[in-house]
Chains A and B, each alone.
Chain A
Amino acid sequence: MLILGAIAAIGVEVGSVEWKHVRPIIEQHCLSCHHDGGPAPFALHDPESVALRARFIKEVTASGLMPPWIASEYGLPLQDERGLSDHEIGILAAWADNAHPMGDDLKPAKRPPESPAKDDVVVTMPETWTVPAEGKENWGRRDRDKWTFVLPIGNDDAIHVRGIQHYSTAPQVVHAVTYLADPTDASQWKDSRDDMFGTYMTGDIRDRPSGELGGTGVGHRKLRLPEGFHWDVPRGSDLAMEVHYRPLGRPLRLQDRIAFEVTADQNSRPLRTLISMVRWIDVASGASSTVEDQFVLEEDVQLVGITPRAMGTCTALRLTASLPHGEEVILFDAPDWDPHWRQTFLLEDVYELPLGTVIRGTWRIVNTEGNLRNPFVPIERLSMARRTGAVSILLHVAAEDPEADQRLQGWHRELMRSRMR
């Protein structure tokens, strides 16, 4: 009976699953990362390389580890969602269980073509930086495999950025990266405080969060806003870039390049960043706690994307909206939060948030050893603060018109100020 069930679930007789059934699953769900020179540790083009890992692939797909995707289906629909159907998981499992028969069709898996990037303005790290072979203790903290770099853009005029593409010299070590355009000297100053290129400090500039210009993640190095929206890069800006990396066991040279696609659309509207955040968290060793933030929108806005920011002590986070007419909407939900796979999530469709909407962020903090992502071993008291939130979720929004945009910015500045008190 069980075996019959298995046949029904995958629609192919278990014994007859061959490479030709496996290939389309690999092409659609794995090759965006597991290609030659990609961010994943091995390529999965050849049937032999897939067969060589058949059992391992069964394991990581059945457990949901691969393909990585941290958002649940309860939030708003997102662009480039990843995930396997039970049917697909069943095919991979059946192939592994049956000693991965090849069949006659041995065509390798091919990566689906990507739309070409428009690299209008390109900035490159002015120096190289060496990613260490192993994680180090940094300033007494153990959650700090990150480094912030400052890249002068040198733009004589403001530019309106619609797309960002990150090209890395070491794609396998670079994980979440968040960006911010800084027209002041602040980020240069931070970087100049010692002889090293870059700084261990965050990429925030005062109460402006790194990630204002979005963030890219593993296998997701390109952000392209929907038509009619842009990120503002004031003239003479530096690009401050907070890079989270995962040491690979050998030192690697990093000299990344960031390309902007610029829009000339006069009607394009700038995205502003609203922050749902908890400034300070303090959780005893072995304890858990749920922290929350809420604010009321004082302007009609359109929500374009979401950038969650929290480390591994956070195990779940969620952003909800109570709309003025009473409806509760889950905007974003990560029930099994893993900072390793974070990025900016662009919505499939722009979402209207009217004035009077209550925006609520919730974070579950689990400071125990049972939380396998707790970067602190042995467990100690977790007490941390960041002006832009020890935990936060950035909302990338646009106001209706320039006047509303001014009001929105003034109101959010005040909100940030009130949180400092």
Chain B
Amino acid sequence: MAMSCDSGLRTRHVEVRDTGGALQKPLVGVDVPFVVIVFASPDCPIANAIAPEIERLHKMTVDAGAAFYLVHARSDVTADTAQKHARKFAISAPILLDTDQSLAKELNATVTPEIVVVKTDQPTVEIIYQGLINNLYASLGNRRDQASEHYAREAIASAIVGQTVDPAYRKPLGCFIERAEP
């Protein structure tokens, strides 16, 4: 537990504020086997289209005794905007405001929606799945009526039983997380 970095030099002590103003360390995952992080945005149509799925993933994660966070990695998203958005889309997960994008940078998140499933019950931080949530979008601008492949559900199901996910990365598709200036 003394280690703060894994072999990929990932620091697990990134601190991000939640909508109540409290500092959280989402990658520490106190007493939970894994943590699920979903990067979203209040006005990204691609992320919003799967809001019901995000809430289902949240339920699935919490029911398994793990932790779930919805993260806005944008400087202009306030606690108020984020809460309104969550109410509108019926998302009840805790929300983090990654205003300076430290968490997004740490996890190399590139777009919204993007999911990261992190195993936390070991000394190092291990990402067991990252990227695409499902195949609702075939490409930018090309949306199917329904998703038929549910990558995030499968990844969480694997995390629950302690299995690995293959592939562990699927290039996500959505609205770019524009990097704040370095």
Contact A54 to B144, CB < 8 A, known contacts A249-B50, A372-B139: no
Q: List the A side residues contacting B149 at CB < 8 Å.
A: 377
A172 to B149 Cα, complex, angstroms: 25
Contact A133 to B146, CB < 8 A, known contacts A41-B45, A373-B138: no
Q: B178 contacts A52, CB within 8 Å?
A: yes
Q: B44 contacts A41, CB within 8 Å?
A: yes
Contact A143 to B145, CB < 8 A, known contacts A249-B49, A249-B89: yes
Q: B140 contacts A52, CB within 8 Å?
A: no
Q: List the A side residues contacting B65 at CB < 8 Å.
A: none
Q: Is A413 an interface residue (CB 8 A)?
A: no
Q: How many residues of B contact A (CB 8 A)?
A: 30
Q: B141 contacts A65, CB within 8 Å?
A: yes
Q: A56 contacts B175, CB within 8 Å?
A: yes
Which B residues between 137 and 162 are near A, CB-CB below 8 angstroms? Answer: 138-146, 148-149
Contact A378 to B44, CB < 8 A, known contacts A52-B76, A53-B178, A56-B175: no
Q: List the B side residues contacting A142 at CB < 8 Å.
A: 144-146
A172 to B175 Cα, complex, angstroms: 17
Partner of B148, one of A48, A136, A378: A378
Contact A250 to B178, CB < 8 A, known contacts A41-B44, A375-B145: no
Q: A377 contacts B148, CB within 8 Å?
A: yes
Q: List the B side residues contacting A53 at CB < 8 Å.
A: 175-176, 178
Q: List the B side residues contacting A136 at CB < 8 Å.
A: 146
Which A residues between 102 and 157 are near B, CB-CB below 8 angstroms? Answer: 133-137, 142-145
Q: Is B48 an interface residue (CB 8 A)?
A: yes
Q: A41 contacts B146, CB within 8 Å?
A: no
Q: Is B135 an interface residue (CB 8 A)?
A: yes
Q: A372 contacts B142, CB within 8 Å?
A: yes
Q: How far is the CB of A97 from the nearest CB of chain B, in Å?
A: 13
- What residue of chain B has the Cβ atom nearest to residue A43's Cβ? B43
Q: Is A63 an interface residue (CB 8 A)?
A: yes
Q: B146 contacts A59, CB within 8 Å?
A: no
Q: How far is the CB of B153 from the nearest CB of chain A, in Å?
A: 14
Q: List the B side residues contacting A99 at CB < 8 Å.
A: 181
Q: B43 contacts A59, CB within 8 Å?
A: no
Q: List the A side residues contacting B146 at CB < 8 Å.
A: 134-137, 142
A347 to B59 Cα, complex, angstroms: 52
Q: B51 contacts A250, CB within 8 Å?
A: yes
Q: B142 contacts A373, CB within 8 Å?
A: yes
A377 to B176 Cα, complex, angstroms: 26
A134 to B51 Cα, complex, angstroms: 9
Q: Is B52 an interface residue (CB 8 A)?
A: yes
Q: Is A21 an interface residue (CB 8 A)?
A: no
A100 to B76 Cα, complex, angstroms: 16
Contact A250 to B143, CB < 8 A, known contacts A41-B44, A133-B52, A378-B148: no
Q: How far is the CB of B111 from the nearest CB of chain A, in Å?
A: 9
Q: B49 contacts A52, CB within 8 Å?
A: no
Interface 0/1 of A324-348, CB less than 8 Å to B: 0000000000000010100000000
Q: Is A42 an interface residue (CB 8 A)?
A: yes
A residues within 8 Å of B by Cβ? 41-42, 48, 52-56, 59-60, 63, 65, 99, 133-137, 142-145, 172, 246-250, 338, 340, 372-375, 377-378
Beyond A52-B74, A250-B90, 6 additional contacts (C-beta under 8 Å) are A142-B146, A143-B145, A250-B51, A338-B141, A340-B143, A374-B138
B residues within 8 Å of A by Cβ? 43-45, 48-53, 74, 76, 88-90, 135, 138-146, 148-149, 175-176, 178, 181
> Which 4 pairs of residues, A with B, have the shortest CB-CB distance?
A249-B51, A372-B138, A135-B145, A41-B45
9 contacts between A and B (CB under 8 A): A52-B76, A53-B176, A54-B178, A60-B141, A134-B52, A249-B89, A374-B138, A377-B149, A378-B148
